[in-house]
């Protein structure tokens, strides 16, 4: 968990600094998306962020930089201050900056680069450092964790969630979801009870109606649904703790086989890497070469639509012959 937290801190730090090269890509290619996807099963904040990032389209770096300038770098007074001392007391080089600099030195760090110690990206990078040290040195993990908690309580957690909410309210297509994640994630860390997933509705399947077409798994923004196929069987799997109930799978289901149903107690206790079988079907075999083709569930559905033409049972190679 601490390793994933370190990765998320660092990705947030990069996102709030000068736009990194990865930011011009669509949201699903961001390191931020990869981090939130890994944490989606144990964090509501991460699950919601993964879904939001999946909707972000690519832009040129010039356009991404223009967004950053409009929010954080405007001449005179930008919409959002990215320095703690400016955000909290209205003046640069305030006491907050001196305090965080002392904490960095206490952790054995010396600052380099153009950013001041209390810049949002530097504070987040410091949190990433503390989380990483706890992973690298298990014997002193408690000490590093205590320092992380102290820094969250006295500094990063004292102003970054508020700023994140303000950025989220800007409505910017790129930075608004980043702001939401910043606020939600830090608030979860400050209030561990908020991290517990409250699962209300998850996908369920009317098995006879499900064709195992896989469309539901393709549209799932947090990959809570998965089609697993081997030589003999096709299976639709659900990770209940990854799901946060957006319902996109239901809207994508052409046969109305999928619905959202109240979750069960056993689903709520499953881990993010535990999967439940929603539907399974043996695969059909080509009558000419014996190679497995599609699932029988899908074959039967297509046959009903087309009147069961004989060629449908063959693999694509044998059809050509």
Cα–Cα distance, 298 to 304 (Å, whole number) = 10
**pLDDT value at residue 114:** 76
Rounded CA-CA distance 37/46 in Å is 7
- Bridge partners of 281, per DSSP, are 234
CA distance 27 to 23: 8
CA atoms within a 13 Å half-sphere pointing along the CA-CB vector of 119: 19
Using an 8 Å Cβ cutoff, are 61 and 22 in contact?
no
Say what the pLDDT of residue 193 is. Answer: 54
What is the pLDDT at residue 265?
63
pLDDT for the residue 272:
61
b/e for 214-237, b at 16 or more Cβ within 10 A?
Answer: bbbbebbbbebbbbeeeeeebbbb
How is 48-70 classified by DSSP, letter by letter?
HHHHHHTTPPP--HHHHHHHHII
290 burial level (CB within 10 Å; 0-12, 13-18, 19+): exposed
pLDDT of residue 244: 66
Output the pLDDT for position 141.
84
Strand partners, 238: 225, 276
DSSP 202: E
Rounded mean pLDDT for each run of 10 residues along the chain, 321 residues in total: 87 94 95 91 86 93 94 78 85 87 87 84 94 85 88 91 90 94 91 52 89 90 85 91 78 90 70 83 88 87 81 80 66
Q: What is the spatial distance between Cα 60 and Cα 24, in angstroms, rounded to a whole number? A: 6
Q: What is the DSSP annotation of 222-272? A: T--EEEEE-SSEEEEEE-TTT-----HHHHH-TTS-EEEEEPPHHHHT--T
pLDDT, position 260: 86
Model pLDDT, residue 79: 83
* pLDDT at site 42: 80
Pairwise CA distance, residues 37 & 198, whole Å: 17
Tokens matching residue 165: 């909410």
Please tell me the pTM assigned to this model: 0.64
Environment class of 101 (CB within 10 Å of its CB; exposed 0-12, middle 13-18, buried 19+): middle
């Amino acid at each position: 968990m601490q390793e994933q937290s370190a990765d998320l801190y660092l990705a947030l730090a990069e996102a709030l600094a000068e736009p990194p090269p990865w930011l011009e890509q669509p949201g699903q290619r961001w390191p931020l998306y990869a981090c939130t996807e890994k944490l989606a099963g144990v964090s509501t904040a991460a699950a919601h962020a993964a879904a939001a990032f999946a909707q972000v389209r690519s832009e040129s770096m010039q356009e991404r930089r223009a967004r950053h300038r409009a929010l954080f770098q405007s001449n005179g007074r930008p919409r959002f201050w990215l320095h703690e001392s400016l955000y909290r007391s209205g003046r640069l080089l305030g006491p907050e900056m001196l305090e965080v600099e002392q904490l960095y030195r206490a952790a054995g760090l010396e600052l380099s680069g153009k950013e001041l110690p209390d810049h949002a990206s530097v504070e987040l990078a410091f949190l990433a450092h503390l989380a990483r040290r706890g992973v690298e040195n298990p014997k002193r993990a408690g000490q590093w964790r205590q320092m992380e908690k102290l820094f969250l309580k006295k500094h990063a957690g004292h102003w970054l969630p508020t700023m994140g909410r303000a950025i989220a309210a800007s409505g910017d297509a790129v930075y608004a979801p980043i702001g939401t994640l910043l606020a939600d994630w830090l608030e979860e860390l400050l209030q561990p009870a908020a991290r517990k997933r409250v699962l209300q509705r998850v996908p369920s399947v009317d098995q006879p109606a499900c064709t195992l077409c896989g469309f539901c798994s393709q549209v799932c923004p947090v990959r809570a649904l998965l089609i697993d196929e081997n030589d003999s069987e096709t299976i639709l799997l659900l990770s209940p703790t990854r799901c946060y109930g957006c319902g996109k799978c239901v809207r994508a289901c052409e046969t109305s086989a999928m619905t959202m149903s109240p979750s069960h107690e056993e689903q709520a206790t499953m881990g993010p890497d535990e999967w439940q079988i929603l539907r399974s079907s043996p695969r059909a075999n080509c009558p000419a070469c014996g190679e497995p083709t599609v699932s029988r569930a899908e074959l039967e559905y297509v046959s009903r639509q087309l009147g069961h033409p004989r060629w449908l049972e063959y693999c694509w190679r044998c059809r050509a012959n």
